[in-house]
Amino acid sequence: MTKPFYVTTAISYPNGAPHIGHAYEMIATDAIARWKRLEGREVYFLTGTDEHGIKMVQTAAKEGIPVRELADRNAAEFRKLAAELNLSNDDFIRTTEQRHHEASQAIWRKMEASSNGDIFQSTYKGWYSVRDEAYFDEDELTEKDGKRFAPSGAEVEWVEEPTYFFRLSAYGDKLLELYEQNPDFIAPKERRNEIISFVKGGLQDLSISRTTFDWGIPVPGANGHVMYVWVDALTNYITGVGYPDEESELFKKFWPADLHVIGKDIIRFHTVYWPAFLMSAGLPVQHRVFAHGFLTVDGQKMSKSLGNVIDPFELVEMFGADAVRYFFLREVSFGNDGDYAHEKLVNRVNADLANNLGNLAQRSLSMINKNCDGKVPAFGHATPADEQLEKEVGEAIQTAQKAMDEQLIHEATGALIVALSSANNYFAAQEPWALKKTDPERMATVLYRTADTVRRLAIPMLAFVPASAARLLEQLAVPEEDRILPLAIVPHRLQPGTELPVPQGVFARLEKPAE
């Protein structure tokens, strides 16, 4: 399978430091990107920051600093977070970059030149939520104490200004046809139904420029207008692969994107506006959008006023990147909301990584070190228990593969952990330490099969806990080029006689931090 694979995260607003919701999306998307590379596919993985819009302007004003300074400061934090989480992104895009201004103006011109005249001038009169950077109809709002609120809970303000519009109303049928012909375009399924009924309800034209501030990408040929932040934000996905140069190698290879990973609050932008913009510009539409859920902390919404905002940098410092990654990938059903609590992380990581995977590796490798001259032992014929384990591990990898094809990351990690438990049971039942005296040949076989099982399961774990899984594979002397899924499926790839390094524990048990 050599088909290229292009995957993106949403680009985050750098109006504040990153929080664990941002970290979560990065981690999940990275696991998907790494998995595809393990399949042998050429992957392009893009993440970045969404730096225009009124929210940035207002935050900078509150802090008394220039917007550019706010953007620079926080974009650096997002970039640093990506590095600390051990992300394998190929690029990090900032929407304030020159290349992105060019791409945004190019797609604008294409939409403007479309045969139905998709861009036209008029006056926008309506409600705007700065926090959501989104327009709302009167009937989407709730009212309290004379104020009006968007579904997100953010207060809306009345806006009246001359702007350019995008003829979204002309795209209803085309979008419904897109969803119809591509049943996998929107995942999870419930989200798809929501969007279909939204579009069936009728689409209104969309205001796509602003005139009351200038922090944005200038509308080509229209003094005083900057693009509505979402027009430029969505365009990042094509800027990242070289647009407007449609003949560039990157663009030809990777566009249309295989997958946009986003949170559930921005589905409409990605499954209604974005494909409509692309169709209007005559560009192919992305293949799929997966909307993950939202994270809460100790069962509560994260908020500055509750003081429960978790700093992802602190988490990485406390537990290490792999522990943080693993917790979210295993604990949260991808697509559903999830909850973070220190205790849950510690319990999950200790149970699955330290006690299960780490234990299996450490016990088998230290026995090999002591009893087999520090070399991969030779193995004899298979007993039914050996065959059973071998089969179970192969099936677990296949189950994980199927799950990852649909981004069901928690199911993939779950299947691997179940197989690891079986391997631990196998090891305990075979009692290699007792065989040492009675049947050393059989002991060697049991140790071989256990070590080979660690190899087979550590390879897919590279997607989830890349640094730790790589350390395990080093202890098994598995060459880099052999760390791919097609070779994880195959048993007996460890070569008897291969010298192994002195084993070292890879997963330390975590302690719950003091409050």
Spell out, one character per residue from 179 to 218, where the chain touches ligand ME8: x when CB under 6 A holds, - when not: ----------------------------------------
Show the beta-strand stretches assigned E in 33-149: 43-49, 91-94, 119-129, 134-136, 142-144, 147-149
CB of 289 to ligand ME8, least distance (A): 11
Interatomic CA distance for residues 492 and 501, integer angstroms: 19
Parallel, antiparallel or unpaired: strands 206-207 and 186-187: unpaired
Work out whether 324 is an interface residue with ligand ME8 (CB under 6 A).
no
Among 12, 362, 424, 445, binds ligand ME8 (CB under 6 A): 12
Interatomic CA distance for residues 30 and 35, integer angstroms: 8
H helix runs in 161-245, sequence order? 172-181, 189-200, 229-239
Spell out, one character per residue from 288 to 307, where the chain touches ligand ME8: x when CB under 6 A holds, - when not: ------xx------x-----
CA nearest neighbour of 8 among 234, 228, 321: 234
Residues 6+ apart with CB under 8 A from 8: 29, 45, 46, 47, 237, 240, 257, 259, 260, 261
Parallel, antiparallel or unpaired: strands 289-292 and 226-227: unpaired
Residue-wise over 275-300: b if at least 16 C-beta within 10 A, else e? bbbbbbbebebbebbbbbbebbbeee
For ligand ME8, give the closer residue by CB, 11 or 397.
11
H helix runs in 320-408, sequence order? 321-331, 342-349, 359-371, 384-405
- Comparing every residue's Cβ against ligand ME8, the nearest one is 263
For ligand ME8, give the closer residue by CB, 313 or 508.
313
Question: Segment contacting ligand ME8 (CB under 6 A): 9-17, 157-165, 455-463, 485-493?
Answer: 9-17
Interatomic CA distance for residues 162 and 170, integer angstroms: 21
For ligand ME8, give the closer residue by CB, 154 or 508.
154
Question: Segment contacting ligand ME8 (CB under 6 A): 36-44, 163-171, 260-268, 327-335?
Answer: 260-268
Work out whether 25 is an interface residue with ligand ME8 (CB under 6 A).
yes
Q: Identify the three-state secondary structure at position 509.
A: coil
List the interface residues with ligand ME8, window 438-497 (CB under 6 A): none
Output phi, psi for 150, to 5 deg.
-75, 165
Q: Identify the three-state secondary structure at position 290.
A: strand
Among 5, 6, 24, 254, binds ligand ME8 (CB under 6 A): 24
Among 130, 226, 266, 451, binds ligand ME8 (CB under 6 A): 266
Work out whether 426 is an interface residue with ligand ME8 (CB under 6 A).
no
CB of 271 to ligand ME8, least distance (A): 12
CB of 129 to ligand ME8, least distance (A): 12
Work out whether 267 is an interface residue with ligand ME8 (CB under 6 A).
no
Q: What is the dihedral of CA 106, 110, 112, 116, to 10 degrees?
A: -170
Residues in contact with ligand ME8, total (CB under 6 A)? 19
Question: Segment contacting ligand ME8 (CB under 6 A): 80-88, 176-184, 232-240, 245-253?
Answer: 232-240
The binding site for ligand ME8 (CB under 6 A) comprises 10-13, 21-22, 24-25, 50, 233-234, 236, 262-263, 265-266, 294-295, 302
